[in-house]
Amino acid sequence: MNKFLSNLWRRKHYLESRIRHQDIDDICGGLSSGGFIMPGIYLIGCGDRIVYIGQSIGMGGIAHRSMESLARIYPQVENKTLPWSIGLFPVEKDESIVMWNSGLLNEFESTAIRKYAPIFNISIPSKLNSQAEEPKITHIAQVFADVDNSCTAFESENLEKQAIEAKNNLSPPWQRGNKRRRKWNPITYQFELLEKYKQK
């Protein structure tokens, strides 16, 4: 059993009652066992929608970072019967230094956020570089095993539908402002505006 996942499930009371899909243990395994502990972009799907997009260049890579993001977002979705999945775009080890230095990870993330306008992305790394190349998802992992259906957020029909809706949305979530003005409230499970910005 993966130690990182065991600790995460134990710390988050709202995850304790859920059964993890084997896919999640697989992606969080070491490189020798096919895990995704490398830098890259991740997209989190819920139902038939992409709800969050992020990146990771730190320890644990996109596998660990995506699960930490999911644990933060999950309580904000009321319907607990919806299936969840994670799409991964890993960066190969020999490419990573080049990508970090050129800012391509920010470009990939920004482009994907602009294209799909996920509900929980309330900012974008770079508006200037948000219409470039998209990250190509190479692996999809289902999150929970205790649901009847699989998450369909990464099916081509749903991706196209969400992209069209995002293109026609004149006020997408990522235009709401910088995350640094908001703080995560563990009681309400919401990002809340810091006091010093409430009067502005």
* H or E element at residue 165: helix 156-168
Q: Judge whether 45 and 5 are in contact, CB under 8 Å.
A: no
Whole-prediction pTM value? 0.82
Q: In whole angstroms, what is the distance from residue 42 CA to residue 14 CA?
A: 22
Model pLDDT, residue 200? 41
Domain ranges in the chain are 3-197
Task: State mean pLDDT over 19-41.
Answer: 81
With H, G, I as helix, E, B as strand and everything else as coil, classify residue 117. Answer: coil
Residue of 21 and 182 predicted with greater confidence:
21
Residue of 128 and 71 predicted with greater confidence:
71
Over the stretch 54-83, which tens digit does the pLDDT of each residue have?
998 777 788 899 999 999 999 999 899 999
Task: State mean pLDDT over 81-87.
Answer: 96
